[in-house]
Structure 1
Amino acid sequence: MFGKILIANRGEVACRIVRACEELGIMSAAVYSKADADAEHVRRADEAYPIGPSPVKDSYLNMESILQAAKDAGCDAIHPGYGFLSENADFARRCEVEGITFIGPSAEVIRLMGDKIRAKNTMKQAGVPIIPGTTAAVADVASAKHFAKNYGYPLMVKASAGGGGIGMEQVNNERELEKAMEGNKSRAKAYFGDDTLYIEKKIERAKHIEVQVVSDARGKIIHLGERECSIQRRHQKVIEESPSSFLDEKTRQKMGETAVRAAAYIGYENAGTLEFLVDEHQNFYFLEMNTRLQVEHPVTEEAVGVDIVQWQIRIAAGEALSISQSDVAPRSHAIEARIYAEDPVRFFPSPGTITHLSLPKAAHIRHECGVREGSVVTPFYDPLLAKIIAVGKNRKECISRLIQALRHYKIEGIKTNIPMIMQVLSHDVFISGQADITFVNNMLAECDNEKGRK
C-alpha cells in the first residue's frame, strides 16, 4: 500500500480523498493555490504544498508544480479527483515517467476515451449501441447540412474534446446549425485547444443514466449498478440517484453487462463510468466514458455499500478486486443534491465569505463538504461547495428525508441553489420518476412565464 498520496485537487473532492486516505492509514498531502491557502482541504490533509497563483492554469492545471510538490512531499501516488488534470493523458504519462503512480486508468485509455469521436467508434466496435451520427469530424457547415438533410432535426452539435456541457448545443433548424457550428468551434478551441466537432441525432425525452464500473490489473471487472442523472441545468448535473426508478430489470441488467463488456474491450483498469442516453422505450445509447471518479459517486457507495475511492487506491496499489458481481445489489435508495454558490434565480456564481454554516445531522444524511464557516468562495473555481446525500429504504422515503434535511441546511454570506433544488424535489414530475434531461430547463421556463403573467 502507498505510504503517502498527493491529492491534485481542491474543495469537497479533495476532502473526500483525504478521508479515504485516513481510513486506509495513508498519509495525505494537499496542494493549494494562493486563493486556497486557508481552504478546508488544506486543513484536513496531513501536509499541504503551494503550487502557484490563484488562476487555474497557474496552479491546479500546472503539471510541473504538482509533480514537484509530489516529489517534495515524498509521495508515491497522485489522486487527481475529478476535473482539472483527472482526464489529462499527458499528466498520467508524466506521472509514469516520474515514477509516481497515477490513481486512475492508463494514459492510453484516457486519451482514447477523451476523444469523443474515437470513443464512439471504439464503443461501436465493442458492440455497444451508439447514437446515430457522424463517425468523423464535421469539417464545415456544408458537411453539417448534408448530415441534417439525411437525419433531420433536432440535432446535437458537440465538441470531440468537450466535457461538462461545454461545446454542446441542440439545433432545430438550418440557421441554428450554422450558428452552432461557428460558435461551438470557437468555444471548443478556447476551452480544449481542439475545435473538432461532430453531430448526433437528438434523442427525444431522453434519460441520462450511467453505469459505474470497477476493474483491477488482473482483468476482473464488475459494475456497481446505475445512477440516474437526468436532473440537469444546461447539461450540468444537479441531482443524481441510485438506483434509477425508470429502468426495468431487463434493461438494468443489459446496461450493466454492456458497460462491463465495453470496459473489457479497452482494457480498462480502476474506477470509471459509462454514460448513456435512454429513450422512452428503454433503448440505450453510449454517450461518453468518464475515466475518473464521478462527482456523484456517493449515491452508488450508499446504494450498494462499496467505497469507490478506497478501491481506486487499492487497485492502483496492485490489490485484486475482492468483490464479485454477485456481491453487488442495491441495499437502499440514495439521492444526492449538489450545493452550488450561485444565485438561485439568475444562476450567476455567488462569491463571498461564508458567515454561517450549519449542516443537518442524521444517520440517513451524508455530507461531502469542502467549506466551513469563514471560508472565502472565490471566483477562480467551479462554484460547487458541497453535496448532500440522503439514504432511505425506497425513493419516496429518500426524497422526504432530503427535503427535510435541506430545510435545515443553513449557509449565509453567499447565495446558493438550494431553493431551486427544493423546487425540483417537490415537483410532481420529479416525484413520479418521469423527469428527463429537459425537465429543469422546462420547469424554470414555466416559472419565468408565470412571473411574466403576474
Structure 2
Amino acid sequence: MFKSVLIANRGEIAVRVLRACRALGIRGIAVYSDADAAGLHVRLADKAVCIGPAPARESYLNARAILAAARKHHAEAVHPGYGLLAENAAFAQAVVDHGVAFIGPAPETIAEMGDKVAARAAAERAEVPVLPGTQALHDAEQATDAGADIGYPLLVKSSFGGGGRGMRVVRQPNELADAVRDAGKEAAAAFGRAELFLERYLPRPRHVEVQLLADAHGTVVHLGDRDCSVQRRHQKLVEEAPAPGLPEELRSRLTQAAVRLARETRYVGVGTIEFLVDPATAEFYFLEMNTRLQVEHGVTELTSGIDLVQEQILVASGEPLDVDQDAVRPRGHAIQARLVAEDPYAGFRPAPGTVHDLHLPTGPWLRLDFGIDAGDRVPAEYDSLFGKLLAWGPNRDTARRRLATALDELRVSGIPHTGDYLRTILERPDFLAARHDTGSVERDWQPDPAAQPLPTDVRTKPVRAPDPVSTREVSLHTDHGPVHVLVYGCGDHDPVTPPAPSPVGPRGTPYTESAESTGESRAPMDASVAKVLVTEGAQVAARDVLVVLEAMKMEIEITASHPGTVRQVLVSSGESVSAGAVLVTLDG
C-alpha cells in the first residue's frame, strides 16, 4: 500500500480523495494555486504545496510543477481526480516515467479512449452499438460529403475533450460549414486539438452510463447504471442510480456491453461507459468512455456500498478486487444535485464570488460532498462546481423527497447557485415519471424569473432598520418550488425591497451581455479575456460581439446594445478582469 498520495486537483474532489486516503492510513499531499491558498482541501491535507498562480494553465495544468511537488515531498502515487489533467495521457505517462504510480488506467488506454474516433472503433470491436458517424475530418468539403451519407440532423463533435465544448447540432446542410468552423475553433481553444468528426444526432435521448471497476488481474465488474439526463450545455445537473424506468432486459444489455468494452481495452481502475438511450426504440449507442472517477460516483457508492476512491487506490497499488460480480447487489435509489456557482435565472451565467454564509442540511440519509466552507471564495478561474448534495432511499420517490427536503434546508449566501432551481426540477411531472431527456432543461424547463426566490442574502441575513424591528422567516411551498420570505413586524420603517431578478439569457445559447446604453460594456463577473474582436475606431452594429470573456469554463459574449463607433478598447486577450470593469466604450 502507498504511504503517500499527491492529489493533482482542487475543490470538492480533492477533499473527497484526501478523506479516502485518511481512511486507508495514507498521507495526503494537496497542491494549490494562489487562488486556492485558503481552500478547504489545503486545510485538510497532511501537506499542501503551492504550484503556481491562479490561471489553471500555470498551476493545475502545469504538469512540471505537479511532478516537482511529487518528487520533493516523496509522493508514491498521484491521484488526478476528475477534470484538469485526469484524462491527459501525456501527464499519466510523465507520472509513470518519474517512478510514481498513476491512480488510473494505463496512459495508452487513456489515449485510445480520449480519442473519440478511436474509442468508437474499440466499441465496434467489442460489438457495442455506435451511432452512424465518420472518422476524423480534415475540411468542410469532406464534412459536407459525410453529412449527406449520415443524414440530418447530425452532430459536429470534437475528437478530444468533453463538457460539450467543440460540439454543434446541425439540422440543415447549409448550417454545416459554419458549425464545423465554430466547433473547430472552440475545440482548439479548449483542448489544443481541432480535430472533429460527425455523428448522427438523436433528438431526445436519455444519457445512461455504467460504472466499471477492474483490477490488473483480469477481474472486471460493473456496479450498475446511472441516469444523467438532466443537463444544460451538455453538462450534468442531476444524476441518479439506478436509471429509472429502464426495462431490465435493456439494463442487462447495457451493463454487458460496458464490461465487454472494458475487457477489449484491457481496462484497469475505475471507469465509466456512457451511452445514449433512445426511449422510442429501447436501443442504446456508445457515447464515450471516461477513464477516471466521475463527478456522480457518489450515487453509485450509496447504492452499492463500495467506496470507489479507495478501490481506485487499492487497484493502483496492485491489489486484486475483493468483490466479484455476483456479490454486487445495488440497493435502493440515490439522487445527486450538483451545486454550481451559476445563475439559472440569467442563462446559467457563471457567478464566482465569496460564500458569506453556508448552512448545510442534516439528516440520516444524506451525503454532502463540498469543497468550500463559509468565507471561502469560488474562483472564476476554475469549474463552477462547489458542492454536491446526495440523498438515498429504498425507492426513487423516497430518495427524491429526501433530496427535496435537503435542498429546502440548504442556505448559501453571497453567490447565485443552482440549488433552488434544481429543487423545482424534482417536482416536474416529466421528471417524476422519468420521461425527461437530455434536452429537457433547455427545451422545457427553462428557469422562470417569476418563480425566482428572494436572494439568499435577503433570506438569511437580518436587515438593519433605523429602529429594532421583529422578523421571522416563513417557507412557502409553491408549484415552482420553495420560496423563503422574511416577515417584518409593524412599524414606521421603509419597506425592504429585494433586488430585481436578473435577466434570462437566450434559451440554449451561451449567456451574452450587452453594452449599456451609456456606451460602456462591463464585465458581468470576474473573468479572463478570451478574445477581443474589435479595434478602436471600428464601426459596430447592435448585437455585434465586442469581447469574449471566459469564466468557470464558459464563454460569455459581450455584445453592442446599439450601433456605434468603438472609442476605447481597455482590455487585451489573456487579461484578468473584475466584475464591473469597463471593457469597451462606444460612441453613438
- Show the counterpart of 1:296: 296
The 2-side partners of 1:131 and 1:157 are apart by 13
Matched residue type, 1:56: A
- Show the counterpart of 1:124: 124
- Show the counterpart of 2:268: 269
Q: Secondary structure at the match of 2:338?
A: strand
Alignment pair present for 1:39 and 2:39? yes
The 1-side partners of 2:380 and 2:25 are apart by 35
- Show the counterpart of 2:52: 52
- Show the counterpart of 1:378: 379
Superposition pairs of residues 144-223 of structure 1, within 5 angstroms: 144-223=143-222
The 2-side partners of 1:337 and 1:446 are apart by 16
Per-residue Cα deviation, 1:63-95 (whole angstroms, up to 9, x for no partner): 111011111111100000000110010111111
The 2-side partners of 1:305 and 1:249 are apart by 21
After superposition, the Cα gap between the structure-2 partners of 1:175 and 1:419, relative to the gap in structure 1 and judged at 3 Å, is: farther
Q: Secondary structure at the match of 1:209?
A: strand
Aligned-residue offset at 1:448: 7.7
Single out whichever of 397-406 and 343-352 deviates more from structure 2.
343-352
Partners of 1:344 and 1:419 within 8 A in 2? no
Query: Structure 2 regions of 5+ residues with no counterpart?
Result: 452-502, 505-588
- Show the counterpart of 1:138: 137
Matched residue type, 1:397: T
The 2-side partners of 1:446 and 1:73 are apart by 48
The 2-side partners of 1:221 and 1:244 are apart by 21
Aligned-residue offset at 1:423: 1.8
Aligned-residue offset at 1:446: 8.2
After superposition, the Cα gap between the structure-2 partners of 1:233 and 1:101, relative to the gap in structure 1 and judged at 3 Å, is: same
The 2-side partners of 1:263 and 1:13 are apart by 24
- Show the counterpart of 2:586: none
- Show the counterpart of 1:421: 422
Alignment pair present for 1:435 and 2:433? no
- Show the counterpart of 1:254: 253
The 1-side partners of 2:18 and 2:450 are apart by 45
Alignment pair present for 1:361 and 2:383? no
TM-score between the two structures when normalised by the length of structure 1: 0.97
The 1-side partners of 2:341 and 2:188 are apart by 27
Alignment pair present for 1:319 and 2:319? yes
Alignment pair present for 1:337 and 2:341? no
- Show the counterpart of 1:240: 239
Per-residue Cα deviation, 1:94-141 (whole angstroms, up to 9, x for no partner): 11110000000000000000100111111111111111111x112222
- Show the counterpart of 1:391: 392
The 1-side partners of 2:71 and 2:384 are apart by 30
Matched residue type, 2:247: D
The 1-side partners of 2:120 and 2:149 are apart by 20
Aligned-residue offset at 1:151: 2.8
Single out whichever of 415-424 and 36-45 deviates more from structure 2.
415-424
Aligned-residue offset at 1:449: 12
Q: Secondary structure at the match of 2:166?
A: strand
The 2-side partners of 1:341 and 1:117 are apart by 33
The 2-side partners of 1:19 and 1:446 are apart by 36
The 1-side partners of 2:349 and 2:368 are apart by 24
Aligned-residue offset at 1:419: 2.2
Aligned-residue offset at 1:147: 2.3
The 1-side partners of 2:434 and 2:157 are apart by 28
Determine which structure has the larger helix proportion and give its number.
1
The 2-side partners of 1:244 and 1:147 are apart by 34
Q: Secondary structure at the match of 2:330?
A: coil
The 2-side partners of 1:243 and 1:97 are apart by 39
The 2-side partners of 1:80 and 1:310 are apart by 14
Per-residue Cα deviation, 1:406-446 (whole angstroms, up to 9, x for no partner): 00001101111112211211111111111110111112448
Asked which structure has the greater RCO (Cα within 8 Å, sep 6+), the reply is 1
Aligned-residue offset at 1:353: 1.2
- Show the counterpart of 1:81: 81
Partners of 2:344 and 2:447 within 8 A in 1? no
Q: Secondary structure at the match of 2:343?
A: coil
- Show the counterpart of 1:228: 227
Alignment pair present for 1:404 and 2:405? yes
Aligned-residue offset at 1:339: 0.1
- Show the counterpart of 1:13: 13
Partners of 1:221 and 1:264 within 8 A in 2? yes
- Show the counterpart of 1:97: 97
The 2-side partners of 1:302 and 1:30 are apart by 26
After superposition, the Cα gap between the structure-2 partners of 1:105 and 1:152, relative to the gap in structure 1 and judged at 3 Å, is: same
Aligned-residue offset at 1:169: 1.3
Matched residue type, 2:12: E
Matched residue type, 2:127: G
Partners of 2:345 and 2:448 within 8 A in 1? no
Aligned-residue offset at 1:365: 0.5
TM-score between the two structures when normalised by the length of structure 2: 0.75
Matched residue type, 1:119: A
Partners of 2:421 and 2:447 within 8 A in 1? no
CA RMSD of aligned residues (A): 1.5
Single out whichever of 166-175 and 357-366 deviates more from structure 2.
166-175
Matched residue type, 1:162: G
